[in-house]
Chains A and B, each alone.
Chain A
Amino acid sequence: MFVINCPYCGEREQSEFKAGGEAHIVRPKQPTELSDDQWAEYLFMRKNIKGIQFERWVHTHGCRKWFNVVRDTSNDLIKAVYKMGEKPPTK
């Protein structure tokens, strides 16, 4: 259990949020031209990182807005929070 700093509402308990999985997976521009392997890669394959992960969260029981979080999955410490469309922090 941890606290997430929603960029719109401020710090709230994690139970108010829903995790949306790995961030920055880009939807294919030409879905009709994708091979089965490319579809599998897009739909199912995940980095599932132990360490620093870029991920999406939604403040379900709050503003209901989506945003991105940088979190260390080995200890659940949050390193950064940034809005959708913003560049991920490099450090």
Chain B
Amino acid sequence: MKNKYSLFSLVKNAFSYHENWEKAWKDPEPKKEYEAIIIGGGGHGLATAYYLAKKHNMKNIAVVEKGWIGGGNTGRNTTIIRSNYLWDASAGLYDHALKIWEGLSQELNYNVMFSQRGVMNLAHNLQDVRDLKRRTHANRLNGIDAVYLNTNEVKKFCPIINTSPDIRYPVLGGTLQRRAGTARHDAVAWGYARGADEMGVDIIQNCEVKGIKRNGDSVEGIETTKGFIKTKKIGVVAAGHSSVVANMAGLRLPLESKPLQALVSEPVKPIIDTVVMSNAVHAYVSQSDKGELVIGAGTDDYVSYSQKGSHDIVEGTLNAILELYPIFSRMRMLRQWGGIVDICPDASPIISKTSIKGLYFNCGWGTGGFKATPGSGDLFAHTIANDEPHKLNAAFNINRFTSGDLVDEHGAAAVAH
């Protein structure tokens, strides 16, 4: 890497008052033609470009982004990373990502602030207990670390949780994945962008795709607000707007785009040093390094691209948070926002070729795509470069909705969708 970040570079730049740091990525105008184009400059798209250049030696590629990189769901999620999924296919996919997370800061020479503080999932009724125990066993069979905790162990691991038996949804137990945790969302996008740019990838921001040009059953290029760009391979990683891009190519996807909300509180001193998720009451909370409580709420049940979401969803989540953590009763919330998540009928993603030659989709991550960012990029790059899925994403093809071979992670994914 040309401009490696190190203690030495920090000291060197201190002498020029940190005013001469090289730009982490350039701001190029699009070329006339690329070997491949990635639509969508979020974490998944940038990671895809990075691995295409690094592992598949495809350097003449571009990422086109309608806004700024990492400005969509990459900058709007609650940064939770875990791999404790029920089904084998999902376990393989998400643990592949988690393993890359563990070495990502070093690989990118960019601190993504990956913190393995553990993720705890709570059980509030007998069915939750059975489901979580089953998932713990399934995780262990797949080599994923997981333990089941009883109420006292939950209290010991996170003392501020109200484990009193007389609350509306008492805590009957929980699971813990210690390798799970959080990372700094912006840093992931920026780290991958810097790494991809270094290898020659063009990252083109403020460039909206307006159309996909087809010649019969193959793609020829994309129409953008910066003109026509020729290419034989297009990877679409447009999250909530996947269906919009698919429509441009005359494809229909099994997706519905819905607002998912999150909010943060005012910053306080360290109070919760792990991530706690609760499926039944739909509340999850962690604390950022700045001290804000990061709270994830649920999705609205209607299709919307408005990036807002309904007030009653936030209200319901905060009710649950207050019952589980009475200590937060006087906290004030600072910011609330929504992101548009594309949800598949089986709540699993699609990383797949399509019926159109040269057109690939990586979508349907729904409410939980951030955790998969490195793995998703790696596997999608493999799929694009070889025109064949990797064995880890073979199950996540688009044909599963025809064959019926669904990867049904609704609820089983440890969080309600």
A residues whose Cβ falls under 8 Å from a Cβ of B: 1, 13-15, 18-19, 21-22, 36-37, 39-41, 43-50, 53, 55, 57, 71, 73-76
B74 at interface, CB cutoff 8 A: no
In the complex formed, the residue of A with least CB distance to B312 is: A15
Q: List 10 A-B contacts (CB under 8 A).
A: A19-B301, A36-B403, A40-B254, A45-B252, A46-B243, A46-B253, A50-B257, A50-B305, A55-B302, A76-B308
* B306 adjacent to chain A (CB < 8 Å): yes
Complex: how many Å from CA A46 to CA B309? 21
A13 to chain B: which residues have CB within 8 Å? 312
Q: Are B252 and A41 in contact (CB under 8 A)?
A: yes
Name the A residues within 8 Å of B300 (CB-CB): 19
- Residue B142, interface by CB 8 Å: no
B127 on interface, CB distance cutoff 8 Å: no
A63 CB to nearest B CB, Å: 19
Chain B interface size band reads: 20 to 34
Give A39 to B253 CA distance when docked, in angstroms: 14
**Which residue in B303, B310, B345, B401 is a CB contact (below 8 Å) of A1?**
B310
Distance from B240 Cβ to chain A, minimum over Cβ atoms (Å): 9
Question: Given A73-B305, A73-B306, A75-B306, does the pair A40, B402 have CB atoms closer than 8 Å?
Answer: yes
Interchain CB contact under 8 A, B305 and A47:
no
Considering the complex, give the chain A residue whose CB is closest to the CB of B246: A48
Determine if A44 and B401 form an interchain contact, defined as CB atoms under 8 angstroms apart: yes
Q: Which 7 A-B residue pairs are closest in the complex by CB-CB distance?
A: A19-B302, A48-B243, A44-B254, A15-B312, A40-B402, A45-B252, A1-B310
Report chain A residues within 8 Å CB of B306: 73-76
Hey, which chain B residues are within 8 Å of A45, CB to CB?
Answer: 252-254, 401
Interface, chain B (partner A; CB < 8 A): 241, 243-244, 247, 252-257, 300-306, 308-312, 342, 345, 401-404
A39 to B241: give the CA distance in the assembly, Å.
24
Do B308 and A46 touch (CB < 8 A)? no
CA distance A43 to B401 in the complex (A): 9
CB distance B243 to A47 under 8 Å? yes
Nearest to A35 among chain B residues (CB) is B402
* Contact present for A48 and B302 (CB under 8 Å): no
> Does A47 lie within 8 Å of B252, measured CB to CB?
yes
Residues on A with beta carbons closer than 8 Å to the beta carbon of B255: 46, 48
Closest A-chain residue to B243, C-beta based? A48
In the assembled complex, the Cα of A76 lies from the Cα of B310 at a distance in Å of: 11
Among residues of B, the one whose C-beta sits closest to the C-beta of A74 is B305
Q: Which residues of chain B are near A43, meaning CB under 8 Å?
A: 345, 401
- Most chain A beta-carbon contacts within 10 A, residue among B302, B342, B345, B401: B302
Contact B402 A73, beta carbon cutoff 8 Å: no
Query: Considering the chains assembled together, what is the distance between the CA atoms of A57 and B305 in angstroms?
Result: 18
What B residues does A49 contact at CB under 8 A?
Answer: 243, 303
Q: Determine the chain B residues whose CB is within 8 A of the CB of A21 once the complex forms.
A: 256, 303
Q: Which residues of B lie under 8 Å from residue A19 when comparing CB positions?
A: 300-303
Q: A55: which of B244, B257, B303, B403 is its contact (CB, 8 Å)?
A: B303
Known: A46-B252, A55-B302. A14 touches B402 (CB 8 A): no
For the complex, what is the distance from the CA of A47 to the CA of B308, rounded to whole Å?
21
Closest CB of chain B to A91's CB: distance in Å?
22
Residues of A within 8 A of B311 (CB): 1, 15
Bound CA span A44–B403, Å = 12
- Give Cα A75–Cα B300 distance, bound, in whole angstroms: 14
Closest partner residue, chain B, to A18 (CB atom) = B301
Q: Max chain A CB contacts within 10 Å: which of B244, B247, B254, B342?
A: B254
Please give, as numbers and ranges, the residues of chain B lying within 8 Å of A46 by CB-CB distance. Answer: 243, 252-256
CB distance from B309 to the nearest CB of A (A): 8
Flag if A48 contacts B401 (CB, 8 Å): no
Docked complex Cα distance between A48 and B312 (Å): 23
Known: A48-B243, A48-B303. 11 other contacts (CB 8 A): A1-B309, A15-B312, A21-B303, A36-B403, A40-B401, A46-B252, A46-B256, A50-B257, A73-B305, A75-B306, A76-B304
**Alpha-carbon distance between A14 and B254 when the two chains are bound, in angstroms:** 25
CB–CB B402/A48 < 8 A: no
